[in-house]
Amino acid sequence: MSLSSSNEVTQLLVQLTGGNRAVLDQLLPLIYDELRRLASGYLRRERSSHTLQPTALVHEAYLRLVDQRDVRWQNRAHFVGVAAQMMRRILVDHARKSGAEKRGGEFQKISLDENFDLSDERAAELIALDDALKTLAEIDEQKSRIVELRYFGGLSIEETAEVLGVSAPTVKRQWSMAKAWLFGQVERRN
């Protein structure tokens, strides 16, 4: 995304924070490709036969994002960071609901795609990683966000640094430490 596009997105987000909902029509075309890339990053880790497309995840996350009334959007990077969190939440919530249904819970339709199906193994992995990330966030919020943006969102070191407002070497160092810590946590659960 060019600097002028980034500045335009920031201006639109500030207007949205101020209550100007009319800017939504201008905002989506400017951020759609970036949101779709994030969604593709999340979904590339899913099994190849699932039917959910990045478009469905983008639309669900976008609807939830722009419906936020209490968020004070700072800039494009802030929006992308929150979008990555939202997409992860959508997928984890679905995995948890899927697990509950298999244990006899009531059926609940989700808005993403009725054909979306996680394998039992993948759902368990996603939930275990989410639980470990929550624990990491309590210990070190920044490392947790780095994992979320890099692993789930597919952002590069530089893109993650931009979203978080830190240097690329900081992201690289903390990414390595976070991966090692998470590996130990997830292994302990298995």
pLDDT in tens, 91-145: 888 777 766 555 444 443 333 333 344 555 666 777 888 888 889 999 999 999 8
Average pLDDT score over residue span 67-90: 82
pLDDT of residue 122: 64
Tally the residues of the chain: 190
In angstroms, the Cα distances linking 27 to 129, 167, 189 are: 32, 27, 42
The structure tokens 């394998």 sit at 119
Q: Is 72 exposed, middle or buried (0-12, 13-18, 19+ CB in 10 A)?
A: exposed
Q: Give the pLDDT band (50/70/90) at residue 71.
A: confident
| Rounded CA separation 72/121 (Å) | 38
| Rounded CA separation 49/118 (Å) | 10
pLDDT of residue 166: 94
Q: Give the pLDDT band (50/70/90) at residue 175.
A: very high
| Rounded CA separation 119/95 (Å) | 9
